[in-house]
Amino acid sequence: MLCSHVLYPITDVVPFIEKLDARTKRTCVVTIRVDQLAPELSPLWHEVWGEARPPEPGLLDLYNVLFALGVRANVRLAPFVRPGPFEDLGEAIARIRQLLFLPSDDHEHDGRIGRVLEGTLVPRGGRLTWPATQQAGIVWWEKQP
């Protein structure tokens, strides 16, 4: 069973994990980010929505839940490829607008998004990219009896 980057919006993860394990024939593999996606966007989230960005669960959260359920999972870290690289600032703004859950035709915050991205993204190979990679955890365990 493979579950890749879907745990972020799950509010009650224990039944979800139990169902994964129940449907697993042999090995269950779950991928999840180690850190929040694009933490540079947190100030923008507050500006757009008027409240702090809701934290997403990460690798340590998942591992602790699994451990509490009696699952002794294996973990490997791997690079997590962030959105991009971007052809130009306009493309970056459009993609970040999606990450902020703004409608594609809502350009009210584009100026602020652009200023944040100009101070964050770096040119590399004629495109704009994030300065550092993030990591994801690859978590796997054998089916529980």
> Does 70 lie in the same domain as 10?
yes
Q: Name the pairing type of β-strands 134-142 and 74-80.
A: antiparallel
> Does 140 lie in the same domain as 77?
yes
Predicted pLDDT at 95: 93
- Is the pLDDT higher at 32 or at 81? 32
Task: Report residue 22 CA to chain centroid gap.
Answer: 25
Q: Are 129 and 86 in contact (CB under 8 A)?
A: yes
Q: Are 53 and 88 in contact (CB under 8 A)?
A: no
User: In 10 A of CB 100, how many CB atoms?
Assistant: 18
> Does 21 lie in the same domain as 76?
yes
Residue 46 lies in a domain: no
> Does 9 lie in the same domain as 37?
yes
Predicted pLDDT at 41: 86
> Does 72 lie in the same domain as 30?
yes
Q: Domain range holding 69?
A: 1-41+51-81+133-145
Where would I find the beta strands (DSSP E) of 81-131? 122-124, 127-129
> Does 74 lie in the same domain as 27?
yes
For residue 131, pLDDT beyond 90: no
3-state secondary structure of 88: coil
> Does 139 lie in the same domain as 125?
no
Q: What is the CATH number of the domain that holds 59?
A: 3.40.50.150
Predicted pLDDT at 145: 64
Mean pLDDT score across all residues of the chain: 92
Total domain count, the chain: 2
- Residues 54-69: tens digit of each pLDDT: 999 999 999 999 999 9
Please count the helices (runs of H) and the strands (runs of E) in the chain: 5, 6
> Does 95 lie in the same domain as 25?
no
> Does 121 lie in the same domain as 90?
yes
> Does 73 lie in the same domain as 34?
yes
Predicted pLDDT at 144: 61
> Does 120 lie in the same domain as 95?
yes
What is the spatial distance between Cα 91 and Cα 127, in angstroms, rounded to a whole number?
Answer: 10
- Residues 36-56: tens digit of each pLDDT: 888 888 889 988 999 999 999
Residue 17 lies in a domain: yes
What is the spatial distance between Cα 15 and Cα 18, in angstroms, rounded to a whole number?
Answer: 5
- Residues 98-126: tens digit of each pLDDT: 989 999 899 999 999 999 999 899 999 99
What is the spatial distance between Cα 14 and Cα 18, in angstroms, rounded to a whole number?
Answer: 6
